[in-house]
């Protein structure tokens, strides 16, 4: 080989997208993927649906098998941990079961992802306390939830599940009450999953509303809906301590005012980029403590790229650095970097922070900048409007209330962001707003959009048009 190999640290969305694309564009290039664990290429976003029973088998969550990866000509090495990056030597130090070795690279991609943070809690001391991160955590939670007598191992599928964890967690009697610490994406999805599993569920949010990225007007719709489904939603309620029983199993959570029984605790208070590997280097770190990357996913170190949850991105609206760890961002950046490394410089693109979420019967979406303080911090003069309109023609069965918030800058009238919630096709409507953001559209532009109308799908004035009309009226 004349070219030194393309080395990738991390065998998930960003890493394998890059590996696959590079191999397709430049089949003769050596592409090596080091994955420190057993699992590769799984659907992180599907974990709550496995726990809730919507997805039958863990195997369903695997996008690519190791065999499929190898069939693409990628040199995949699982259980290989990269323990150092040596920019001067253009090598990485790799540790596997038997040995430690230096691997030279022509190009290197850091795709090490992120890990859950645990807030003030030590998660290792009590049984029954989990974060939701990685296939093994979902399998462990499922085992812990199951009746020990009726546990069905077949749901574990074909993959390399950590059997010790399963054996440990399946011994416990099924929990009746769960506490979820954190009302973000994971918290809300897990609330639904655990209600599906028949538990009494308490959801704790430190601030005044759950789902902070969606804004208060969306949360104000979601919170009563969660309550109507049986979730006890506690806002303005930090959990201060986890309480255990004499056997070391969690028995409750403590707040400023009370202790609530819980035999299961899910901690979903955020994630943090896995940058420890780079701590000995002079790599530039940016927003969210993630690795700073440029338009092509390049870090500050020569021939070293980063992508996915470990890397920063450029925000569509501000043009500034941001850190929004989401699936499409990782896949797209990985693919772009694979193309660049193979010889064709390709932008990783900008992100608007578009996200959607199912909360029982509700569909929630958000994109761009919704929080006004956030907008002001970026030099904007924000103003917003929130409306509620029908999802279909009023006379058509299934018409249901859809709430839309739009935020724009008062000076330029440029749209900055938006959020939506409703039970009828609300989520995918957020894409309209995301598309407008990419194109720097004003509120007037949005008000003039020729959006779809047919009685079963939308009223004459789509809820987004109604919101634009009202926001425009405030300018």
User: Which residues are known catalytic residues?
Assistant: 45
Residues 143-172 that bind a second copy (CB under 8 A): none
Considering only 38, 43, 117, 294, the residue that binds a second copy (CB under 8 A) is 43
Cβ 118 vs Cβ 269: under 8 Å: yes
Stretch that binds a second copy, among 221-229, 254-262, 370-378, 446-454 (CB under 8 A): 446-454
Does position 462 bind a second copy by CB under 8 A? yes
Cβ distance to a second copy smaller for residue 73 or 455: 455
Binding mask 117-146 for a second copy (x = CB under 8 A): ------------------------------
Tell me the closest approach of the beta carbon of residue 169 to a second copy, in angstroms. Answer: 23
Question: Of 33 and 351, which has the nearer Cβ to a second copy?
Answer: 351
User: Helix, strand, or coil here: 383?
Assistant: strand
Min dist. Cβ of residue 424 to a second copy (A):
10
Which residues, at least 6 apart from 401, have a Cβ–Cβ distance to it below 8 Å?
388, 389, 390, 391, 422
User: Among residue numbers 326 through 365, which ones bind a second copy (CB under 8 A)?
Assistant: 326-329, 331-332, 347, 349-358, 363, 365
CA-nearest of 275, 272, 274, 239 to 117 is 272
Name residues contacting a second copy, limited to 58-97 (CB under 8 A).
Answer: 60-61
CB of 28 to a second copy, least distance (A): 21
Nearer to a second copy, 239 or 387 (CB): 387
Considering only 15, 46, 52, 417, the residue that binds a second copy (CB under 8 A) is 46
Give the shortest CB-425-to-a second copy separation in angstroms. Answer: 5
Is 427 a binding residue for a second copy by CB under 8 A? The answer is yes
- Cβ atoms within 10 Å, residue 456: 12
In whole angstroms, the minimum distance from the beta carbon of 331 to a second copy comes to 5
451 binds a second copy (CB under 8 A): yes
247 binds a second copy (CB under 8 A): no
Kindly state the tokens that stand for 437. 């953001």
Q: Which long-range contacts (CB under 8 A, 24 or more apart) does 227-233 make?
A: 229/192, 229/195, 229/360, 230/195, 230/200, 230/201, 231/191, 231/195, 231/201, 231/202, 231/203, 232/200, 232/201, 232/202, 232/203, 233/183, 233/203, 233/205
- Counting Cβ atoms within 10 Å, is residue 342 exposed (0-12), middle (13-18) or buried (19+)? buried
Give the other-Cβ count within 10 Å of 221's Cβ.
21
- Does 100 engage in binding with a second copy (CB under 8 A)? no
Minimum separation from the CB atom of position 344 to a second copy (A)? 12
Nearest to 214 by CA among 342, 331, 330, 362: 362
Stretch that binds a second copy, among 74-82, 258-266, 283-291, 444-452 (CB under 8 A): 444-452
Q: For 245-251, which contacts have Cβ atoms below 8 Å and span 24 or more sequence positions?
A: 247/127, 248/125, 248/126, 248/127, 249/126, 249/127, 249/128, 249/172, 250/126, 250/127, 250/128, 250/129
429 counts as binding a second copy under rule CB under 8 A: yes
Phi, psi angle pair for 46, to nearest 5°: -90, -5
What are the residues binding a second copy (CB under 8 A)? Answer: 13, 43, 45-46, 49, 54-55, 60-61, 316, 326-329, 331-332, 347, 349-358, 363, 365, 367, 393-397, 425, 427-432, 434-436, 438-439, 441, 445, 448-458, 460-462, 464
């Amino acid at each position: 080989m004349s070219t030194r190999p393309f080395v990738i640290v991390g065998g998930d969305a960003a890493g394998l997208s890059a590996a696959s694309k590079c191999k397709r564009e430049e089949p003769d290039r050596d592409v090596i993927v080091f994955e420190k664990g057993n699992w590769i290429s799984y659907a992180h976003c599907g974990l709550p649906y496995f726990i809730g029973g919507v997805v039958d088998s863990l195997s369903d969550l695997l996008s690519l098998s190791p065999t499929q990866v190898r069939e693409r000509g990628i040199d995949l090495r699982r259980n290989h941990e990269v323990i150092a990056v040596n920019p001067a030597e253009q090598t990485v130090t790799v540790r596997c079961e038997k040995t430690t070795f230096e691997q030279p690279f022509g190009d290197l991609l850091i795709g090490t992802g992120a890990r859950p943070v645990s807030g003030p809690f030590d998660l290792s001391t009590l049984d029954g306390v989990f974060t939701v991160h990685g296939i093994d955590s979902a399998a462990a939670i499922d085992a812990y939830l199951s009746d020990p007598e009726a546990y069905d191992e077949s749901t574990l599928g074909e993959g390399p599940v950590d059997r010790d964890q399963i054996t440990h967690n399946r011994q416990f009697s099924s929990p009746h009450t769960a506490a979820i610490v954190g009302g973000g994406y994971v918290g809300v999805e897990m609330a639904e999953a655990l209600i599906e599993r028949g538990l009494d569920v308490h959801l704790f949010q430190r601030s005044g509303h759950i789902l902070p990225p969606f804004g208060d007007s969306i949360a104000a719709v979601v919170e009563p809906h969660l309550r109507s489904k049986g979730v006890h939603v506690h806002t303005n309620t930090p959990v201060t301590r986890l309480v255990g029983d004499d056997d070391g199993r969690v028995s409750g959570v403590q707040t400023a005012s009370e202790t609530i029984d819980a035999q299961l605790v899910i901690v979903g208070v955020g994630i943090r980029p896995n940058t420890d590997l780079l701590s000995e280097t002079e790599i530039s770190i940016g927003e969210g403590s993630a690795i700073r990357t440029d338009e092509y996913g390049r870090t500050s170190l020569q021939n070293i790229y980063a992508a996915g949850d470990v890397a920063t991105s450029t925000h569509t609206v501000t043009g500034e650095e941001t850190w929004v760890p989401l699936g499409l961002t990782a896949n797209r950046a990985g693919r772009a970097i694979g193309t660049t490394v193979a010889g064709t410089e390709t932008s990783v693109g900008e992100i608007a922070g578009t996200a959607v979420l199912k909360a029982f019967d509700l569909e929630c979406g958000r994109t761009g900048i919704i929080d006004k303080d956030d907008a002001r911090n970026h030099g904007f003069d924000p103003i917003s409007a929130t409306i509620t309109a029908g999802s279909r023609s009023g006379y058509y069965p299934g018409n249901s209330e859809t709430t839309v918030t739009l935020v724009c800058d008062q000076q330029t009238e440029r749209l900055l962001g938006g959020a939506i919630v409703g039970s009828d096709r609300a989520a995918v409507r957020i894409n309209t707003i995301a598309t407008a953001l990419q194109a720097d559209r004003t509120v007037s532009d949005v008000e003039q959009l020729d959006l779809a109308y047919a009685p079963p799908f939308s009223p004459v004035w789509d809820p987004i048009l109604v919101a634009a009309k009202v926001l425009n009226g405030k300018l």
